Amino acid sequence: MTEVRVIGAGLAGSEAAWQLAERGFAVRLSEMKPVKMTPAHHCADFAELVCSNSLRGDRLENAVGLLKEELRRLGSLILQCADATRVEAGGCLAVDRYGFSGMVTERIRSHPNITVISEEVTEVPAGPVIIATGPLTSDAMSEAIGRYFGQTDYLHFFDAAAPLVTLESIDMTKAWYASRYDRGSADYINCAMTREEYQAFVRELAAAEEAEVHGFEDKNVFEGCMPVEVMARRGEDTLRYGPLKPVGLRDPATGREPYAVVQLRRDNAAGNIYNLVGFQTHLRFPEQKRVFSMIPALHDAEFVRYGVMHRNTFLNSPKLLDACYADRRDPMVAFAGQMTGVEGYVESCASGYLAAVSMAARLEERPVPDFGTVTAIGALAHYVSDSTVASFQPMNVNFGIIAPLEQRVRGKANKNLAIANRSLAHLEAMEK
């Protein structure tokens, strides 16, 4: 069998390794954990979720919901494991964090075509290879990739993970279970705040002491994962129109919409750990305990993990990669995951899938699959490789990058659903 190397066993690398192995290739999967860990990683399993345990919306009217459905139909390992370890979260696909990673690891290690090597790779090897070392690529490998491309416009931004608390430490006399607009089951714990409580909280949050993060600057904070304290400094009402918005929720104790609401989402299948939704932070741990305990329902909260801030590194992909995530100069060297500039768990998985099936086709001297820009998986790859993009920044999948409909459809939800149905029809036609 032809051997393909995959470097990195995160979401993208695991998906890429699986797709290649399923197509009959011998895969050598190199993963530096547990030989070498990063500050953001906590376990040795593959596909570890270092931030939220949510893979976001699951409805077809939502672009990431469409991307997930595409991947399901294409036989994605990551989606199989996510669906199998799902925990209730309203209209979102959230997973048992460690159950999910454990299942991915077991499936990868038990595949007869995959050999796992625990090692830190510090040079870009000759192809065929897919490099998916992630947003926390080691310094040595980061420098090697820079040398490989012969340039220094490797980019980076800072990402953050939210804290986790135990269910038993939440004061449920000051909180209630509900999903916004009563969509799905009541999967979120909602912690109400009065105007006075909210204003005092924002004041302390904005003034709280941060942990030292070398090189951190507000302008480098990715808007989709902005630390909660940075939002607090941007204005008193910023949080109320962001993660603390009360819209669609009514406090059963008063029958009214609260002034602000902190939502907690279940983080594991047992339902005894919850994360603070939207509370990515890089405050010092004692400051997190002090300030977040000002939330009335969390006055005695037990924090089992505090939020952390870490550096994310990504390529200037429009200059370097094609629409299959491969080096424009050498298609046998491909990249995948957040290091390509796709942002999000599902997007990382999609890049690993596309990089792998495209490389498989090239090795077998077949045409690479053409997902075009009518599908979410294809549109995301085309955005990342669009050489006309002047100032490249990481991108979540969204309907704005998918080819518009040829006909007019009234209503945003109806239009999005029509785009989704067109995409799924395109996938079905590709399989024939």
Residues making up the annotated binding site are 8-13
Q: Rounded to an integer, what distance in angstroms lies between the CA atom of residue 296 and that of residue 173?
A: 10
- The set of residues, in sequence order, having a beta carbon less than 8 Å from that of 230 and lying 6+ positions away, is 218, 221
Give the residue ranges of the annotated binding site for FAD.
8-13
Task: Return the axis-axis angle of helices 77-84 and 345-363, rounded to nearest 10°.
Answer: 140
Count of C-beta atoms within a 10 Å radius of residue 407? 7
Residue type, 192: A
Count of C-beta atoms within a 10 Å radius of residue 83? 16
Three-class SS state of 140: helix
Nearest to 352 by CA among 27, 7, 13, 4: 13
Report how far Cα 373 is from the mean position of its chain's Cα atoms: 21
Q: Rounded to an integer, what distance in angstroms lies between the CA atom of residue 25 and that of residue 10?
A: 19
Token code pair at residue 173 = 């006399």
Cβ pair 335, 316 in contact under 8 A: no
Rounded to 5°, the CA angle 384-49-220 comes to 50
| Upper half-sphere CA count for residue 50 (Cβ side, 13 Å) | 24
Rounded to 5°, the CA angle 271-276-279 comes to 155
Residue type, 247: V
Q: Rounded to an integer, what distance in angstroms lies between the CA atom of residue 273 and that of residue 289?
A: 16
Residue type, 404: P
Partners of 303 in the beta sheet? Answer: 165
DSSP string, 325-388: SBBSS-TTEEE-SGGGTB-SHHHHHHHHHHHHHHHHHHHTT-PPP--TTTSHHHHHHHHHT-TT
Partners of 261 in the beta sheet? Answer: 192
Q: Rounded to an integer, what distance in angstroms lies between the CA atom of residue 401 and that of residue 393?
A: 14
Q: Rounded to an integer, what distance in angstroms lies between the CA atom of residue 293 and that of residue 205?
A: 11
Phi, psi dihedrals of residue 327, rounded to the nearest 5°: -60, 130
